[in-house]
Amino acid sequence: MLDKLSNNNLFLIRHGQSIYNLENRFTGWKDVELTDLGIAQATEAGEILSKITFDQCYTSNLKRAQNTLNLILEKMNQNPKIIKDEALNERDYGDLIGQNKLEAAEKFGSEQVQIWRRSFDVPPPGGESLKMTAERTLPYYNQVIKPQVNAGKNIIISAHGNSIRAIVMEIFNLNPEQILKTEIGWCEPWIISFDNHGKLSNHQIIKRPSEPSKSHLFLD
């Protein structure tokens, strides 16, 4: 199916598993490395996308997303221009960064932590809500990235669960309830195609063979 793609495609990739993911810690803007599994996940994504040619690449200022992109491009034997911007950074978890999620639930109460994690507009102390993340990410997407796709280019964004959620929410016109039920799996390529007028024409989520898919687009 990837062989049939033309241009005007946006590829969304969440970074591979990080050390803090493995340790079940809030990560946010903490600049942590990929685990060995995360490296393998990124390499596998590169194998899946090997027949695609990217015109330009975008990533965050955090090395787990940057390294994921580099591993993908290395596997594809490509060297397109890479643009980094903190607008694509993960949601800032503020005072929760570095805390184990189970320990945070014991400290603050599981219900409160769940609100901080999964509500649309309630930020954790000193951090961002998903709404605030979208307000940071979407102007950059609409002003910088989307025009490149509309110009007929194949563009890849290697970023994070919540910055990608913000973009998905915009593209599919999702409401807060729908986007909160949408999951973005590690290194599972989301391929979103547009027609020559910039209108959404197709989408697919590619499962990596080595692991069960954790991605889900909630449209109901």
Selection from 44, 9, 36, 1 nearest residue 188 by Cα: 44
pLDDT of residue 175: 97
Whether residue 15 lies in the annotated active site: yes
Q: Is 126 left (phi over 0), alpha (psi -120 to 50) or beta?
A: left
Domain 2-92+130-205 in CATH 3.80.30.20? The answer is: no
Supply 187's token pair.
């290194």
Q: Is 7 in contact with 14 (CB distance < 8 Å)?
A: no
Supply 198's token pair.
């910039």
Catalytic-labelled residue, pool 44, 90, 128, 188: 90
Q: Is 177 in contact with 219 (CB distance < 8 Å)?
A: no
**Single-letter residue type at 84:** K
Residues 23-48 pLDDT 10s? 999 999 999 999 999 999 999 999 99
User: The pTM is what?
Assistant: 0.96
Whether residue 128 lies in the annotated active site: no
Catalytic-labelled residue, pool 15, 44, 128, 188: 15
Residues 148-180 pLDDT 10s? 999 999 999 999 999 999 999 999 999 999 999
Residues 68-118 pLDDT 10s? 999 999 999 999 999 999 999 999 999 999 999 999 999 999 999 999 998
| pLDDT over 80 (residue 2) | no
